[in-house]
Amino acid sequence: MEITTGTERLDFERCYIVVQSRDRRFDGVFYTAVRTTGIYCRPSCPARTPASRNVSFHRTAAAAQTAGYRACKRCLPDATPGSPDWDLAATVAGRAMRLIGDGVVDREGVGGLAARLGYTPRHLSRLLTTELGAGPLALARTQRAQTARVLVESTGLSLTDVAFAAGFSSVRQFNETMQEVYAATPSELRGRRGVRGGAAGAIELRVAVRTPFAGRALLRFLADRAVSGVEVADVRPDGTGWYARTLDLPHGPGAARVELADVDGVGSSYVAMVLMLDDLRDTSAAVARMRALLDADADPIAIDGHLGADPALAHLVARRPGLRVPGHVDGHELAVRAVLGQQVTVVAARTAAARLVAAHGRPISTQVEGLTHLFPTAEVVAAIDPADFRMPRARGRALVGLSSALAAGDLVLDRGPDRNDVRRDLVALPGIGPWTADYIALRALGHPDIWLPTDVGVRNALAGHGPVDPGRWAPWRSYALLHLWTSLSDPPPASPPDSLEE
């Protein structure tokens, strides 16, 4: 069943049918508010289904809170993946939600968020209220409350540390917000659930993802491209394992480590993550960026259903249900690595990036062996003489030109600007062609409908398939692309035994 998205109103009858069936696929897509209890829930809440006359539906938790509802203590509606519509439609509201999740409002205020999106604060507030039912301040407040609840219930941080890690300006504001949103004090929330211990300075969290989740394929992709000093991965014989990387965050450096394995089923599950931060105020930004890396908000049921209906992809989708498009934690880093990867193998691109990190990256100390550097900033790369790169001179100039545009703010890759504008600005730079621009859109901007017709891997994967029409795979061509790339590592199909002549 499809629920209307974008600027259209939620369809009441369809939403109510979802609630009656407790369909977990729609957790995070909308929220159910119950007038008689004053609470809001996820669609799959196990409580008795309320009468239709007593419910209303809201696109965001912030909208439900603005309408005066508290979060359900049974289904924890905020512990869900985000709406997949933010990446699919990439509307102003969707881009704003991504930036709010990264903590932009907490760091720069509503004016900073509006400037990034190209609107006045008043117009942006009006637009978000119309489309999402809440303005930017309310949305940011909900984000802080959600982060705080997770930290309260899953870490041993002091409640004062939790308050500032979640982005609150004072402990009093923290206490009042938690009481209003969850009808419980932070101490009461902590008392309900056991707190797990961890390494000193480490924050253990669970990242919500929709299932099925092809964690092993995601790990393999990241491990094959891991850059020494910045990334480390360990793949076990069964294909599960962990991935870790450094993070260049607004208030200081950090690192994150995630466990990755396949998760079956329909609904939502969790990926275990550990954060190691120099400044706790970067908690929300670190979580948001790692969620983007994991493509945590994707809707695998919708994607697999659409792509699996095509004979050219059906066997690939069946082999890896819930395949994700690996995102990235830093648009600048991904863009530089994309240029380094032009017309070379994955191994050669990884080696070139490792040389760049060793020569120009910022050394840091982490709790993960092998994580030793932050990736060089745009300013640092822009100052390098193109002749110093071990690559064709034209590509070196393209790398420096790209980094100069990023350093000057002429090009922004944080999911805030319109994707079409970003692509136009990219291809206008010398040495940045359509493949590079689209690869950046695929991973840095989270674009779900990228197709790379000239890519060698795509051509090899489609060899022998006969004519195909990639247009039929829209709006999920990015996922079709990953299925094709991933299939290149599959063993060839077994040949049928020769028939025996009698």
Catalytic residues: 41, 455
With contact defined as beta carbons under 8 Å apart, do 449 and 476 qualify? yes
The closest alpha carbon to 29, from 79, 81, 71, 64, belongs to 81
User: What is the distance of C-alpha 325 from the center of its chain?
Assistant: 10
Instruction: Show Cβ contacts of residue 445 under 8 Å, excluding neighbours closer than 6 positions.
Output: 331, 413, 415, 419, 422
The closest alpha carbon to 314, from 157, 497, 483, belongs to 483
d(CA 390, CA 476): 36
Q: What is the 3-state secondary structure (H, E, C) of 53-119?
A: HHEEEECCHHHHHHCCCEECCCCCCCCCCCCCHHHHHCCHHHHHHHHHHCCHHHHHHHHHHHHHHCC
153 φ/ψ sector (left φ>0, alpha ψ -120 to 50, else beta): alpha
**What pairs with residue 34 in β-bridges?**
39, 55
- Output DSSP code: residue 445: S
For the beta sheet containing 70-71, the strands, ordered from the edge strand earlier in sequence to the opposite edge, are: 55-58, 31-34, 39-41, 70-71
Tokens standing for 425? 């600005």
For the beta sheet containing 231-235, the strands, ordered from the edge strand earlier in sequence to the opposite edge, are: 202-213, 263-277, 252-260, 241-249, 231-235
With contact defined as beta carbons under 8 Å apart, do 319 and 356 qualify? no
The closest alpha carbon to 378, from 352, 354, 427, 411, belongs to 411
